[in-house]
Structures are given as C-alpha cells and as structure tokens.
Structure 1
C-alpha cells in the first residue's frame, strides 16, 4: 500500500501548525540599557517569535525609540540601535555638563511601550516618550504604531479608515466632548484626523499630541470611539 496519503497528512498537519504559529504572536516587556547609563530608561514590548512578522514589528518599534531619543536635526539620525541612541544621549548630556558645569538641571529620557490591541488582523502598539534636556519642561509624545497582523508590516493611517468623511462626522462629536473644558486651537469645522490613531479594547483611539490641536498646557488629547459607532467605517474588524 502506498504511503503517500500518510505523508500528505503529515505535511498538512505541519503546514497548519506553521500557520498557527505565525499568527500566535506573543510579546514580552524588555528593558534596554547600557553600561554607565544613568538618565535613560527604555521599557518596550518585544515580539518573541523568530519569524518575519516579529522581525518587522520589532524593527519598527526600535526605529520609533531611536527617533524619540535623537537630539538634533530629525533628518540626521546616525544611531542604528537603541543602545547606540542611549549612549549618544548620555554623551550629549556629559558634553553639556562639561560646557556648563554650573547648571544643576539633570537630563532624563523615558520610553515605554504598550500593546494596545492584538488580533489576527491588526496589532496596535503605543510608544510613549518623555524627554527633558534641561528646559522649562520636558516633551511628552505618544506614537501609535499599527501593524498588519499577518505580515507585521506597518500600516499607514489611511489604510485604517474606509470612509474618511463619515468617520470625521463621528470624530467631531467625540472631540467636542473631550475638549469642552480645554483650550484648543481648532474648531469642529476645521478638525483634521490626528497623526496617531489605533485600536484598543475600549474602541478606536484618537490621539492628539501637544501642539497638534492645543497648546502644551492642555496636554495630550486622547479618547476612544466605541467600535459599534464605527460599523462599516473601518477596514479592520474588531474582536
């Protein structure tokens, strides 16, 4: 009797398990530092699987952290790893102390990451950074990263929303409620989508960083629109 059907069954079993492992993505919190580092804290999620999905996600997270720690021209980033960025930040601080020894203000940088949402279709991760280089106040910034759950490739905001104009109508009512007691630069008629948005358990998160639609004193404006209000308006289903 031919053994070919038996081998086919084995191959199908291995293929199904391979596909299952590709989508069963797990994350762990990772602390990154370097010797002699005293002013930079980095705690970010890391995709644990050793497949292309994890590699794509981790590469984008690392790039975001490197950018958040960069000082100087935003288009000239020489660091190729988070460790190099930490060392460069400490070196900049040490040079500043050497040039201005009378300055008592210490620099600090803290970067934290959180997996906001994960499904087979889409993964949303927030990277929060706070950087203070001795000014009147530090800079708090949040970047929301969205990834295709099957490939790990980054998703542009334009790919998340199916019907932008109808979506903006829903957005405006929630924005008005979130800012009714706040000082903002814009009104509902001129309101644009934020630079950062993504999925969460509470709904579709809209996040306006400082200076995006309001002064620094107002802080970050963030709210979630329930998924049931966005039925048919998003390109990815929520679970």
Structure 2
C-alpha cells in the first residue's frame, strides 16, 4: 500500500510539472503580394472582352496561411459572380464569361465590349488583424457598368471574418448608430428629423441603419453603401467616415489599434 501511494504521488508530481500545451497564436501581421491577371478576347482586331484582376498571395507561412488565402479568394470570386456564375478559380470565371459572350454574340451581334476589373488594397495588417478592401467593376452591356466596394477583415489567429458588430461594444451600438446617422444627414444636407424617404433614399420604414460593408484601419472606420443599396445609381457609392478618435469609445478593447502615422481611410 505504501509503495502504491509513493508511485501515485510521483506520477502526480510529474504530471503537475509537465509544461502546458502551447497556446496557438496567429502572427501580429503577415507579408503578402498582389499579383495581376490580365486577359483579353479580340476578333478581327476588335476588343470584345477585357479582364484586369488583382489577386492576393500570402507569403508568411504559418499554420493557417493557406486556409486564409483560400478564404479571401473565395469571397473575392463571390463578389464577381453573375447570377449565372459558378466558379472556384479566376481561370474558370474568365473562361465562363468568354463562353457566355461568344454564345450571346452568336445569337445577336454585340457592339460593345465587356469588361471586368478587381483592385485590392490592404488597409489593416497589425495587432493580429488583416483587412482587405476590394473594388469591383463590370460592364456587360446596358446604360452603364456596375461598381461596388467590398471588405474582408480577419483575425489572424483563427481566420474568423469579422463583422461590424463583432468590433463594436454591444452596449454602445445605439449611440454609435446615432453618431453615424448624424454624419450621414450632415453630408447629405438633411435636417435632423427630415424624412429620408422624401429625399429619395430607400431606408426601410424610413429609418436609418448601418451598412454591412465597412473598412477598419489605424486611421479609423469607413462605412459603405454601394450603388442601389439605399439610393438610385446617380448617388454612387455613399461613404461615412469616422476618425480613430471618433470610434475609440465604441470599439472593443481587443480591437483597438495604434494610431496611424500618415495613412488615411
């Protein structure tokens, strides 16, 4: 009995002295490069289609770097998908759009060339966060093309795609919305209680709400309403900008960033 007790105590001591498993952490920032894909379709020296696509490549090697790069690319491809599009690579997207153009051109001659472009800007790469803003433009006939902005903001430790709500302190969200509405009304030259609907905006039930698309950086926060989201095409993309100082009281502590030296939103 004594020997068994001693063995048990020794095992307990060894177990308690064993090092804890290391906590898995992502990098504070990553190195990356932006590569360009350019394709054209011409017939009899006439330009029919043109593609200009910027793609992100992550150079920093860590446990989930490939997963993050793939997730970013999937979101970018989704932003370029037409109602009939279904592709997993840029090569598939270009091939499918070219085939669609040839089919339509065979049925009735298309006198206008099609275009698709995607440009990228890394707006955040510190504090374990990575933010990528993308601008997408396309023209496939009609009175005008379509342009819109998208954004992806990730935690590098778990590749979670952050929403605006995940950045904000829940108890202060309504106050934050009120500040954003005040800025919106000032920029659109609206009185504090003036009807949004009467001025041509399409807010449901004539009540202001925040957009889903945002860009978070050391300089502050930008909110984007894309064309046709809350107003006619002529309004273009509507942006609400808030400085780092303005958003500081509303951001969760874990997502507070260092001040931007010279960069702007």
Q: Do 1:122 and 1:146's aligned partners in 2 also have CA atoms closer than 8 Å?
A: yes
Q: Secondary structure at the match of 1:23?
A: coil
Q: 1:198 aligns with which of 215, 221, 226?
A: 215
What is aligned with 2:167? 160
Structure 1, unmatched stretches of 5+, are 1-14
What is aligned with 2:132? 125
In the alignment of these two chains, the number of paired residues is 219
TM-score by length of 2: 0.73
Q: Verify: 1:140 aligned to 2:157, yes or no.
A: no
Q: Do 2:40 and 2:50's aligned partners in 1 also have CA atoms closer than 8 Å?
A: no
How far does the alpha carbon of each residue in 1:117-160 deviate from its partner, in whole angstroms, 9 at most, with x for none? Answer: 22123222111110111111111111111101333331233212
Q: Secondary structure at the match of 2:92?
A: helix
What is aligned with 1:170? 179
Q: Take 1:146 and 1:161, find their aligned partners in 2: how far apart are those partners?
A: 14
Structure 1 residue 61, shift from structure 2 partner: 2.4
* 1:214 to 1:202, Cα distance in 2 relative to 1, 3 A: farther
Structure 1 residue 89, shift from structure 2 partner: 1.5
TM-score by length of 1: 0.80
Q: Take 1:72 and 1:185, find their aligned partners in 2: how far apart are those partners?
A: 23
Q: Which stretches of structure 1, 4 residues or longer, exceed 4 Å deviation after superposition?
A: 33-38
Deviates more, 1:228-237 or 1:139-148: 228-237
What is aligned with 1:43? 54
How far does the alpha carbon of each residue in 1:186-205 deviate from its partner, in whole angstroms, 9 at most, with x for none? Answer: 49x71111010121243111
Structure 2, unmatched stretches of 5+, are 1-21, 43-48, 191-198, 259-265
Which structure 2 residues correspond to residues 160-239 of structure 1 after superposition, within 5 A? 160-162=167-169, 163-180=172-189, 184-186=201-203, 190-235=207-252, 236-239=255-258
Structure 1 residue 231, shift from structure 2 partner: 2.2
Q: Do 2:168 and 2:250's aligned partners in 1 also have CA atoms closer than 8 Å?
A: yes
Deviates more, 1:56-65 or 1:202-211: 56-65
Q: Secondary structure at the match of 1:136?
A: coil
Q: 1:82 aligns with which of 90, 105, 118?
A: 90
Q: Secondary structure at the match of 2:65?
A: helix
* 1:177 to 1:202, Cα distance in 2 relative to 1, 3 A: farther
What is aligned with 2:11? none
Structure 1 residue 35, shift from structure 2 partner: 8.4
What is aligned with 1:29? 34
Larger Rg: 2
What is aligned with 1:151? 158
* 1:28 to 1:225, Cα distance in 2 relative to 1, 3 A: same
How far does the alpha carbon of each residue in 1:49-87 deviate from its partner, in whole angstroms, 9 at most, with x for none? Answer: 2334432332232112322332225xxx53121221121
